[in-house]
């Protein structure tokens, strides 16, 4: 997923899915709500299969989250993921993604992490866990010394603070799971997923 695509969507749903059978109706709900994208995390055994299922749709941008190693990066690439996200900065994983033209958004939480990101030539990184490490004030503080870096804040983002983050010039998009909570997916409440997604998209369009 490119910078321009992220900037246009503004929100990336972060999904932990328990069965591949939920992948298609979930994607239908997200698309209907205005977000044809999902970061499927590898926190569950169904993650890889769900990525495969969604990649086959063709009109849906599916990425892989919670990628901790080169092996996992290879697996999600083979499964059809179009971008990789990790909670922290693993230099080997980042380098493999760059070598294989796979967009990668590693997690950062400090200036030291950002120095590594600059060393690898990255322009967009995940800011995680956003709320727990200082939220909007922390990002504002980082804008000075890292004016060219762009962030995807994730962790504690909700409908209540979404536009506080999107209002920052350094934020390209936000990652969030409030519209794709596991209980909603497990209960088959995809109508609610669609409603929450549409609500988030509508609100995000008011930003900037």
Which residues are annotated as catalytic? 39, 126
Q: Distance between CA 28 and CA 34 in Å, rounded?
A: 10
Q: Distance between CA 18 and CA 21 in Å, rounded?
A: 9
Q: Distance between CA 151 and CA 126 in Å, rounded?
A: 6
Q: Distance between CA 46 and CA 38 in Å, rounded?
A: 14
Q: Distance between CA 205 and CA 56 in Å, rounded?
A: 29
Question: What are the residues whose beta carbons fall under 8 Å from the beta carbon of 80, sequence distance 6 or more?
Answer: 51, 52, 54, 55, 56, 62
């Amino acid at each position: 997923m490119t910078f321009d695509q992220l900037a246009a969507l503004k929100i990336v749903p972060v999904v932990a899915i328990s069965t591949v059978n939920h992948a298609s109706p979930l994607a239908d709900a997200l698309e209907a709500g205005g977000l044809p994208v999902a970061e499927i995390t590898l926190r569950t055994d169904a993650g890889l299969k769900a990525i495969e299922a969604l990649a086959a749709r063709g009109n849906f941008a599916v990425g892989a989250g919670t990628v901790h190693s080169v092996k996992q990066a290879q697996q999600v690439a083979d499964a059809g993921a179009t971008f990789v996200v990790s909670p922290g900065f693993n230099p080997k994983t980042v380098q493999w993604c760059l070598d294989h033209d796979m967009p990668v958004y590693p997690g950062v939480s400090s200036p030291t992490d950002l120095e590594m990101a600059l060393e690898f030539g990255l322009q967009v990184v995940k800011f995680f866990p956003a709320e727990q490490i200082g939220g909007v004030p922390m990002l504002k503080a980082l804008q000075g010394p890292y004016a060219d870096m762009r962030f995807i804040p994730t962790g504690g983002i909700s409908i209540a603070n979404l536009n506080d983050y999107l209002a920052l010039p350094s934020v390209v998009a936000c990652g969030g799971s409030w519209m794709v909570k596991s209980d909603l997916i497990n209960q088959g409440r995809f109508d609610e997923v669609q409603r929450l997604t549409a609500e988030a998209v509508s609100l995000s369009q008011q930003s900037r």
